[in-house]
A and B are shown apart, each in its own frame.
Chain A
Amino acid sequence: MHKIADVEIQHDIMVANKKLAQRNQRILDKADVFSIDVLGAIGSGKTSLIELLIDRMDEKIGVIAGDVISKFDAGRFQKYNVPVIGLNTGKECHLDAHLVEHALEDLPLDEMDILFVENVGNLICPVDFDLGSHMRMVVISVSEGDDTVEKHPLIFKDADLVVINKIDIAEAVGADAEKMVKDAKMLNPDVEIIKSSLKTEEGLEKIIDSIKRFKENI
């Protein structure tokens, strides 16, 4: 004889990721490492910004470089002689807390003050996956179009710092950087917004100050 049974599961995949993320944060806290998620569109300047920060900041920095199938970004950071783990998501569009957990195992956390976790270039999927970092920085640029913020509201809703990059070419690409600032403020009234040109280094000092301020306040 057989019977029909209803079995409660209540297993939220998002919550499972969140729990792993919390565990990641405990590991980072224990090692006294301040971790920053670097999210943003493809080609917005995420890697370039981290390179500049490694070069200019006095703190000891490490990087987790997420890429879909390549190790190009990890290779760029290795030139700076800092600890780097290149993570391939293998066709997935985002990093998740489980991947980051494994990267943390391989990093010399005791020798680091700040960890940058560079996500895959994508303004959509990473929103659903907390990684356990202390700060979320979203890097976009004017060349993606000044409607980028309003088209991807959720990633800006959760951001601590928004960097609007390449403002030196805003006029050439017909983008209104102020509109992007306004849209981000509407979605997230408390967010800090810095307009930058990593090419001329405009805004770079402000980004460094912002990171230091967040680091002191956790």
Chain B
Amino acid sequence: MHELSMADAIVKTVLDVAEKNQAEEILEVTIEVGKLTMLNPEQLRFLLDVLTKDTLLEGAEIIIEEIPVEINCLSCNYKGSTNLDDSDHYLMIVKCPECDERNLEIVTGQECNVKNIRIEKPD
């Protein structure tokens, strides 16, 4: 639901970096979106298309990579991926896949990271 403000922040970040690197064209942008964020990648992509009109970013390929959820179990010290059964959205953040305990910390899956860009610049 807040894809617009995130898309806006992404566009500003990319244009700022592109300008500092004397880019004449931006060919590609890679964005990482965590599976636990309240961001829908398709809506994000649509809004990025809208916001990049008439900017250096227009026409650039937008790559959205999903970051999986990783947890840290405070009971058994398990660190790693969690139960990714989409049929039960609870399991992901509720139970440690190793010991079934519920005392978990979320380590990854909450990102909205502008990872890198590929640009064309003067030699």
Docked complex Cα distance between A6 and B103 (Å)? 41
List 9 A-B pairs, minimum CB-CB distance, nearest first.
Answer: A1-B123, A12-B113, A13-B112, A93-B1, A11-B114, A13-B9, A125-B2, A9-B114, A125-B1
Binding site for A on B (CB under 8 A): 1-2, 4-6, 9-10, 13-14, 17-18, 21, 24, 27, 34, 36-39, 89-90, 93-94, 102-103, 106, 110-123
Chain A residues engaging chain B, CB cutoff 8 angstroms: 1-16, 92-94, 96, 122, 124-125, 127-128, 150, 153-154, 157, 186-187, 189
**Cα–Cα distance between A157 and B92 once the two chains are bound (Å):** 12
* Chain A residues, CB < 8 A from B90: 150, 153, 186-187
Is the beta-carbon distance between A10 and B21 smaller than 8 angstroms?
no
Which residues of chain B come closer than 8 Å to A187, judged between CB atoms? 90, 93-94
User: Which A residues are in CB contact (< 8 Å) with B13?
Assistant: 9, 11, 13
Q: Which residues of B contact A153 (CB under 8 A)?
A: 89-90, 93-94
Task: Provide the bound-state CA to CA distance between A189 and B18, in Å.
Answer: 46
B38–A9 CB distance below 8 A: no
A-B contacts, 22 listed (Cβ < 8 Å):
A2-B122, A4-B119, A5-B118, A6-B118, A10-B113, A10-B114, A10-B115, A12-B112, A12-B113, A13-B9, A13-B10, A13-B113, A93-B1, A122-B1, A124-B1, A127-B38, A128-B2, A128-B110, A150-B90, A153-B93, A153-B94, A186-B90
Residue of A nearest to B104 (CB): A157
CB-defined contacts of A2 to chain B, threshold 8 Å: 24, 120-123
Contact B38 A92 (CB under 8 A): no
Closest Cβ of chain A: how far from B98's Cβ, in Å? 17
- Shortest distance in angstroms between A188's beta carbon and chain B's nearest beta carbon? 8
